[in-house]
Amino acid sequence: MDQKVVRYAVVCALFAALIVVGSYLSIPIGPVPIVLQNLFVLLAGLLLGPWLGAASVGLFLLAGAVGLPVFAGGTGGLAHLVGPTGGYLFGYLVAVVLAGLVAGRRGEVVRMIIAVVAGSLVIYAIGVPWLKVSLGMDWGKALAAGMLPFLIGDALKAAAAVAIARGLRPLLISQGFMQAS
């Protein structure tokens, strides 16, 4: 097997595992818990690009769908993908692709910042309406339960993703896990 393919498979599995770790670092506050998953999803987009990042998130979602305890609070199963937080989970897949496309391969800080903001907004754009419909909430309650309490924390996680990506990028390039521009 091609060494490049093996490296890409390893890095995708690693990021899927990091997303799982992020789900275990969870603070339950209502229907949507505070987790670090989105930090690792955005980081996957910044470092792996749209398609390898999507493979990582897809692997995470598949593991959860078959019942492995990878979602927030160590839970799993299809019910989580169709339940109140399902929109956020599917939003991760769209967010990683968008973040990867916007960030590009050059590692430009401004593009990375735009990428994490866009990725975070996409997660909310899919997650909040899903939460609203799933729980029969009005828009005010859905925003109050599924977005507003998380904005500051998500901004900090987005900033951390950019800082970590800037630090790890040269290492990943030097080890052949990603390409420079």
pLDDT tens figures, 74-100: 899 999 999 999 999 999 999 999 999
Over residues 29-45, the mean pLDDT reads 88
Considering the entire predicted model, what is its pTM?
0.92
CA distance 5 to 25: 31
Where is mean pLDDT largest: 2-11, 27-36, 84-93, 148-157?
A: 84-93
- Would you tell me how many other CB atoms lie within 10 Å of the CB of residue 140? 10
pLDDT at 64 over 80: yes
Q: Which domains are present in the chain?
A: 3-175 (1.10.1760.20)
Q: What is the per-residue pLDDT across 163-180, written as a single tens digit (0 to 9) for each?
A: 999 999 888 888 877 766
**Residue 76: what pLDDT?**
96
Q: Using CB atoms within 10 A of its CB, is residue 105 exposed (0-12), middle (13-18) or buried (19+)?
A: middle
Which of 124, 122, 102 minimizes the C-alpha distance to 111? 102
Which of 171, 48, 50, 71 minimizes the C-alpha distance to 122? 50
Q: What is the per-residue pLDDT across 132-155, written as a single tens digit (0 to 9) for each?
A: 999 999 999 999 999 999 999 999
**CB of 161 within 8 A of CB of 116?**
yes
CA distance 1 to 127: 39
Tokens found for residue 180 = 């420079």
Percent of the chain residues past pLDDT 70, beyond the cut: 98
Tokens found for residue 79 = 């019910």
**Residue 181: what pLDDT?**
60
Could you identify the residue written with the tokens 């987005």? 158
CA distance 166 to 79: 37
